[in-house]
Structure 1
Amino acid sequence: MNYMIRLARAGDAQSLSAIRLQIDAETENLDREAGEDFMDEQAFGDLIEADSKAAHNLFLVAETEGKLVGFSRCEGSTLNRSKHKVTFGIAILKAYWGFGIGSEILHHAIQWADTHEITKITLNVLETNKKAILLYQKAGFEIEGCLKNDKRLADGSYYSTILMSRNT
């Protein structure tokens, strides 16, 4: 599959709103269910604009054949004690899992961090998302902690959130 990873643009806002809603309905790996914390085109447009101006933020999209199929953000802080770190998150349409898109987005985010004085990338991952945990470990992330019984999924059971980070 041919795809490209690029910076999000203002013109991506409508597509991002739609695919975020779709992704939320396709997986329980994220923090929200479909429709929760909905972001419309305007909200995504505002986020893209803000991220493009923030020195410690990065908003990437994955595109194939002119269609957005995933996105990722690194969100940093302007506080002096936290300027060295960002929080990373990624979401990809289920039909595009297994094509290396997540690995490529992660690679871009790490390269960006390494060239922007970011020495720590943190993320949260649901304990059941074994493929993601392995991906992050292969990229040098380590488990730093666990939030036990952190999420209640559709089956009614509680699952833990794994806290991971990459330090340089």
Structure 2
Amino acid sequence: MIISNKEFHVNGLTYTIRSSIEIDAKDLSELRLQIDGETENLDRERGEAFIDISGFEQLIHADTISPKNLFLVAVADKRIVGFSRCEGTYLKRFSHKVEFGVCVLKDFWGYGIGKNLLQESITWADSNDIKKITLNVLETNTKAIELYKRLGFEIEGILKNDKILSDGEYYNTIVMGRFNDA
């Protein structure tokens, strides 16, 4: 699905959130690889589940034509610095919901990019009869958990000892959801 471009000015940074387009594929492939190496908040380590340019082109194309998917990018200084996806399904019993995921370059944390990508996704979902958005977050990512709560998400469950991080310890994954019954 496609949304209108929206510009933001936060802490001296101007950036645009827009729908991804196929020419973003090369930048997205490189960006995802970099972000995966910058934080343990995501599911992947650097290089795992690599998506090449062709893979991103296919993903962008599918998300553009699907009324249940939304692929957004955040662009600052003429380069992509973050992205998010909402992915739905056509299985009838799950057709009311999408799963949200987001990642932002570490150098661009603190500018509200993740928050604004999520808010744009919520606006899209609410206006397209999507009743529920779900997401998973690492228990140590307390800033994200608090943000999600402020935006109407509730903790729905905990996946115990779900991930092993670089320190060799096990960590829980928090399952959160936001239901719009309006």
Aligned to 2:22: 10
Q: Using the alignment, how far apart are the partners of 1:11 and 1:135 within structure 2?
A: 31
Q: Unmatched 5+ residue regions in structure 1?
A: none
1:48-82 per-position Cα deviation (integer Å, ceiling 9, x unaligned): 00001111000000000110000000000111111
Counterpart of 2:163, as a letter, is K
Instruction: Provide TM-score, normalisation by structure 2.
Output: 0.92
Structure 2 residue 35 is the aligned partner of structure 1 residue 23: yes
1:22-67 per-position Cα deviation (integer Å, ceiling 9, x unaligned): 0000000000100000001100000000001111000000000110
Q: Unmatched 5+ residue regions in structure 2?
A: 1-12
Aligned to 1:66: 78
Q: Using the alignment, how far apart are the partners of 2:128 and 2:117 within structure 1?
A: 17
Aligned to 2:150: 138
Aligned to 1:42: 54
Q: Using the alignment, how far apart are the partners of 1:102 and 1:52 within structure 2?
A: 21
| 3-state SS of 2:37 partner | helix
| 3-state SS of 1:22 partner | helix
Count of residue pairs the alignment pairs up = 168
| 3-state SS of 1:59 partner | strand
Instruction: Provide TM-score, normalisation by structure 1.
Output: 0.99
2:100 alignment partner, one of 65, 71, 88:
88
Q: Which runs of at least 4 in structure 1 moved beyond 3 Å after TM superposition?
A: none
| 3-state SS of 2:134 partner | strand
Among the aligned pairs, what percent are the same residue?
58
1:76-135 per-position Cα deviation (integer Å, ceiling 9, x unaligned): 011111110000000000000011111111110000000111000000000000111011
